């Protein structure tokens, strides 16, 4: 009997469906299905390369639009305009029509042109501005040189121009010609002025010096403010230089060198009046340029601000649209009938929903040709689709991290929801630490919505597992109460079952033993008696208790897990798995470890002091049971030797059953089928595109038969690659031998593996005790103001270290151990993990996964 609905107990029932969609509404249908997110389409065009597919053109066009949108985003970042992010939880985007997409494409095209032309003019203007600024600096600085130089022009002149002038003549000369034009040209000295990046100055100087053999006079000054390089918007420190040299050729050389060094050479007039005019002119032009620049920038910013409001939404729309066309590319196109044929997997129980969605789209489009959805039968293994909700999601993720469950086998996450946090709690049992953890997880659940937006990865991980943390902490509170541990201290919730047996001559420091208050009556009702706390032989007791508890819990966990293999065998209708695997396995496990657990419990129930016998060691008992069957070290109960021999025989007779029953049964079954004349189906797959039970759309099926035939051909061809499993006895046998050896050895090693429960809970308890005694413990004995300060300091240390080491680090370690117990010890007993995950075409999943869209989503 199939369940009426898919439950989380096993993966959803899946159907392979074939869709016939009229070409006109293909896009709309895929859009609607993408919103629904319930169909995983198969690629029907595997042999056609990506470039030859039908909708590649559209995808290219959308790629272009996407590029433009990214360009806007980059420009916005450059201009420092914040992007208005889109929050898909708040505003949903309606599915766009084709014309809307076209409009969007056109709009972004024209916007791109506008933005890029604005950008271009902005850049040219900026360059112009920089040039003018540089020129102004050159004028200013060079002017300074000239003014300083003019003061001693005459000296220079005297020493260079007139070699044969009398030494005293210069004084005279000066006096006689005061109106001589004080000019360099008169001296046949020319100059080059310009601007060069500061880090190149040294090289520039050296090159000039070498090429001109020192025939120059170079003067430079630093420009105090950094200039902006318009090509990459980075500030550059520059120097103004003026080089004086002799002769036109040399000047030309200098000019060339400076150009090749990346310096800008500017025209500076040596006449100070002309220079003043030049400065004025430059200033005026600079002003103009700056004005235009400001305007351009404002326009650009206005434009970008306008775009920033909607670019995120556009990005999402284009992303969806692209996904739609990518999906459409997987469809096969029937040119004769202008029909798209799609194939895919969907949950069987959601077929009606998909059908009505198709109907809706067709009606809205006003098409007379209906879209048809047909279920087809296939021998392909369906994908595993495990529905999750907010609570189970994280648990399911833990399981999926190990593997994808086989289609329809018991969902391993079902037991994990309780066993994983519970085993964690057994290792983490401390009431205090658990309460802090509970508070944290409750806070994460209470502020679920605002915290969802936090992108800090480590926190996002913890947040994702908030419900696991909740269940873990609740169980830890319980186990903390059982262990009677709160920050390593005990709680005296009930009266103790112990009473100190005080000797007559008791003195302080004497060892005191306890005795039962009521030897046959009252026992501590819940958890560990607090008298054990801080007792000298506390560990002696708690180790024995926790070790035995680990074995019992492990046995229970494994037995429980093994039972699922029975449910799986029942579900898949494989009785041989019950008789050949489950039953012998169970008997083997129970007759050894079930017996051990029984003995542990029996030993606890016997009042050994009352009977006067000495209690037998169970470990020795188990060892002797194997080494010397039939003989006993110490007797636990009457007839023990016989029982043990029988159990041992029972266990060992299961080994051949485990080994041979299943392979031989399969061979017998195979041979019987052969004898009756059945043959393997071979490479042909049982596929029929026709809906055999001819449901509601009888008429349409008749209409679309011709194209359906094509569909069938396509499918059979497609599925042909899948090899049919030939029965091979050797392989089955080897598989079973491995399974048997593994199972028997694992029974031992896995049981031992559960001892980690004891080890970790011991470590946690001891660690918290040490932390207490090293921080706040000694501080509590101090008095006075110093003591108060001491307590505050040590308490802070105690609390912080408790949180970091005992909750976070120990918690992570306990979690990993518990995870291992789930993955290895439990899953190996029943789960096959041979499935492949259902990945439906869904916009939501796509947007969540997309790295690129992440920065656009709020």
The CB density around residue 474, as the number of other CB atoms within 10 Å, is 16
**Residue 340 φ then ψ, to 5°:** -100, 135
534 binds another protein, rule: CB under 8 A: yes
Which one, 40 or 497, has the nearer CB to another protein?
A: 497
609 binds another protein, rule: CB under 8 A: yes
How many residues at the interface with another protein, by CB under 8 A?
Answer: 67
510 binds another protein, rule: CB under 8 A: yes
Distance CA 512, CA 608 (A): 22
- Name the token pair of 491: 């709680």
Distance CA 286, CA 132 (A): 6
Contacts made by residues 556-560, CB under 8 angstroms, sequence distance 24+: 557/419, 557/423, 557/754, 557/821, 557/825, 557/826, 558/589, 558/593, 558/747, 558/750, 558/751, 558/825, 558/826, 558/829, 559/586, 559/589, 559/590, 559/594, 560/415, 560/419
Q: Which stretch binds another protein (CB under 8 A): 29-37, 504-512, 737-745, 834-842?
A: 504-512
Q: Minimum Å distance from CB 336 to another protein?
A: 44
Q: With residue 64 as reference, give the H or E element that holds it.
A: helix 56-79
- Name the token pair of 808: 């976070």
Question: Which 553-582 positions form the footprint of another protein (CB under 8 A)?
Answer: 553, 556
608 binds another protein, rule: CB under 8 A: yes
Q: Minimum Å distance from CB 506 to another protein?
A: 7
List the one residue from 396, 476, 497, 818 that touches another protein (CB under 8 A). 497
List the one residue from 447, 459, 500, 668 that touches another protein (CB under 8 A). 500
CA count, 13 A, side-chain hemisphere, 83: 24
Q: Minimum Å distance from CB 565 to another protein?
A: 16
Residue with tokens 């869709």: 19
Which one, 246 or 387, has the nearer CB to another protein?
A: 387
- Name the token pair of 690: 């026709």
Which one, 8 or 96, has the nearer CB to another protein?
A: 8
537 binds another protein, rule: CB under 8 A: yes
Which one, 545 or 799, has the nearer CB to another protein?
A: 545
**String marking each residue 447-486 x if it binds another protein according to CB under 8 A:** -------------------------------xx--x----
List the one residue from 178, 610, 682, 730 that touches another protein (CB under 8 A). 610
Q: Minimum Å distance from CB 518 to another protein?
A: 8
**Residue 250 φ then ψ, to 5°:** -65, -40
Which residues face 19 on adjacent strands? 342, 373
168 binds another protein, rule: CB under 8 A: no
CA count, 13 A, side-chain hemisphere, 779: 19
The crossing angle, in degrees rounded to 10, of helices 413-428 and 755-774 is 40
List the one residue from 529, 708, 810, 825 that touches another protein (CB under 8 A). 529
Q: Which stretch binds another protein (CB under 8 A): 16-24, 72-80, 511-519, 799-807?
A: 511-519
524 binds another protein, rule: CB under 8 A: yes
Of 55, 29, 59, give the one whose Cα is nearest residue 41.
29
Identify whether the C-beta of residue 827 lies closer than 8 Å to the C-beta of residue 412.
Answer: yes
Which one, 467 or 856, has the nearer CB to another protein?
A: 467
**String marking each residue 587-606 x if it binds another protein according to CB under 8 A:** --------------x--xxx
Q: What is the DSSP string of 345-375?
A: EEEGGGHHHHHHHHHHHHHHHT-SSPPEEEE
Question: Which 407-426 positions form the footprint of another protein (CB under 8 A)?
Answer: 414-415, 417-419, 422, 426
Which one, 508 or 573, has the nearer CB to another protein?
A: 508
Q: Minimum Å distance from CB 761 to another protein?
A: 11
Identify whether the C-beta of residue 838 lies closer than 8 Å to the C-beta of residue 14.
Answer: yes
List the one residue from 502, 649, 792, 845 that touches another protein (CB under 8 A). 502
Instruction: Point out which residues bind another protein (CB under 8 A).
Output: 5-9, 387, 389, 392, 414-415, 417-419, 422, 426, 478-479, 482, 497-498, 500, 502, 506, 508-516, 520-529, 531-532, 534-538, 540-541, 544-545, 548-549, 552-553, 556, 601, 604-610, 615
């Amino acid at each position: 009997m199939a369940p009426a609905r898919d439950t989380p107990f096993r993966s959803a029932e899946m159907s392979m469906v074939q869709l016939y969609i009229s070409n006109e509404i293909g896009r709309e249908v895929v859009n609607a299905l993408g919103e629904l997110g319930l169909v995983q389409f198969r690629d029907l065009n595997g042999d056609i390369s990506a470039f030859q597919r039908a909708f590649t053109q559209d995808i290219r066009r959308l790629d272009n639009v996407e590029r433009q949108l990214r360009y806007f985003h980059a420009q916005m970042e450059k201009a420092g305009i914040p992007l208005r992010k889109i929050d898909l939880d708040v505003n949903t985007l309606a599915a766009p029509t084709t014309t809307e997409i076209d409009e969007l494409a056109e709009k972004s095209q024209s916007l791109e042109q506008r933005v890029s032309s604005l950008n271009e003019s902005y850049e040219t203007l900026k360059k112009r501005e920089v040039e003018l600024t540089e020129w102004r600096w050159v004028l200013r600085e060079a002017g300074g040189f000239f003014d300083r130089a003019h003061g001693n022009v005459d000296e220079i002149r005297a020493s260079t121009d007139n070699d044969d002038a009398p030494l005293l003549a210069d004084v005279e000369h000066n006096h006689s010609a005061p109106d001589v034009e004080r000019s360099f040209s008169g001296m046949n000295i020319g100059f080059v002025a310009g601007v060069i990046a500061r880090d190149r100055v040294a090289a520039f100087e050296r090159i000039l010096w070498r090429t001109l053999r020192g025939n120059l006079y170079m003067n430079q000054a630093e420009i105090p403010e950094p200039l902006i390089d318009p090509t990459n918007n980075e500030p550059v420190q520059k120097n103004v230089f003026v080089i004086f040299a002799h002769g036109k050729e040399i000047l030309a050389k200098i000019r060339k060198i400076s150009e090749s060094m990346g310096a800008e050479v500017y025209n500076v007039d040596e006449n100070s009046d002309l220079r003043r005019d030049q400065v004025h002119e430059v200033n005026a032009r600079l002003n103009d340029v700056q004005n235009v620049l400001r305007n351009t920038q404002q326009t650009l910013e206005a434009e970008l601000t306008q775009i920033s409001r909607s670019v995120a939404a556009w990005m999402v729309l284009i992303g969806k649209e692209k996904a739609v066309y990518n999906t459409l590319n997987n469809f096969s196109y029937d040119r004769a009938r202008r029909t798209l044929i799609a194939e895919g997997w969907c949950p069987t129980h959601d077929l009606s929903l998909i059908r009505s969605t198709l109907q809706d789209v067709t009606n809205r489009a006003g098409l007379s040709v209906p879209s048809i959805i047909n279920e087809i039968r296939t021998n392909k293994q369906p994908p595993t689709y495990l529905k999750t909700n907010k609570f189970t999601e994280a648990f399911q993720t833990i399981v999926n991290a190990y593997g994808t469950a086989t289609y329809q086998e018991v969902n391993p996450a079902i037991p994990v929801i309780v066993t994983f946090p519970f085993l964690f709690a057994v290792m983490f049992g401390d009431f205090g630490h658990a309460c802090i953890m509970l508070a944290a997880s409750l806070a994460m659940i209470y502020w679920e919505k605002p915290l969802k937006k936090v992108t800090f990865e480590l926190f996002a991980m913890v947040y994702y597992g908030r419900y696991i943390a909740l269940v873990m902490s609740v169980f830890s509170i319980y186990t903390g109460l059982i262990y009677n541990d709160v920050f390593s201290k005990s709680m005296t919730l009930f009266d103790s079952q112990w009473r100190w047996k005080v000797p007559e001559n008791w003195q302080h420091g004497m060892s005191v033993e306890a005795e039962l208050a009521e030897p046959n009556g009252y026992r501590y009702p819940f958890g560990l008696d607090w008298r054990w706390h801080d007792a000298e032989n506390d560990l002696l007791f708690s180790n024995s208790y926790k070790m035995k508890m680990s074995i019992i819990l492990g046995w229970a966990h494994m037995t429980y897990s093994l039972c699922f293999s029975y449910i799986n065998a029942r579900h898949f209708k494989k009785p041989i798995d019950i008789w050949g695997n489950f039953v012998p396995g169970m008997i083997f496990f129970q007759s050894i470890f079930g017996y051990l657990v029984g003995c542990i419990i029996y030993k606890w129930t016997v009042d050994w002091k009352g009977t006067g016998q000495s209690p037998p060691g169970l470990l020795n008992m188990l060892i002797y049971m194997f080494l010397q069957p039939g003989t006993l070290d110490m007797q636990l109960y009457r007839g023990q030797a016989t029982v043990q021999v029988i159990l041992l025989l029972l266990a060992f007779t299961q080994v051949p059953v485990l080994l041979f029953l299943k392979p031989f049964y399969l061979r017998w079954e195979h041979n019987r089928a052969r004898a009756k004349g059945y043959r393997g189906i071979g490479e042909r797959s049982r596929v029929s595109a026709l809906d055999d039970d001819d449901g509601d759309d009888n008429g349409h099926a008749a209409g679309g038969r011709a194209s359906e035939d094509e569909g069938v051909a396509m499918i059979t061809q497609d599925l042909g690659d899948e090899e049919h499993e030939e029965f091979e006895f050797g392989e089955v046998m080897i598989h079973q031998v491995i399974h048997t050896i593994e199972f028997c050895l694992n029974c031992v090693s896995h049981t031992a593996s559960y001892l980690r429960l004891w080890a970790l809970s011991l470590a946690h308890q001891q660690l918290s005790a040490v932390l207490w005694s090293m921080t706040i413990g000694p501080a509590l004995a101090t008095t006075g103001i110093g003591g108060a300060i001491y307590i505050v300091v040590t308490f802070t240390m105690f609390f912080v270290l408790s949180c970091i080491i005992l909750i976070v680090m120990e918690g992570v370690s306990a979690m990993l151990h518990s995870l291992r117990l789930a993955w290895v010890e439990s899953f190996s007993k029943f789960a096959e993990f041979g499935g492949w995950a259902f990945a439906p075409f869904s916009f939501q999943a796509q947007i969540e996964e997309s790295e690129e869209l992440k920065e656009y989503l709020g």
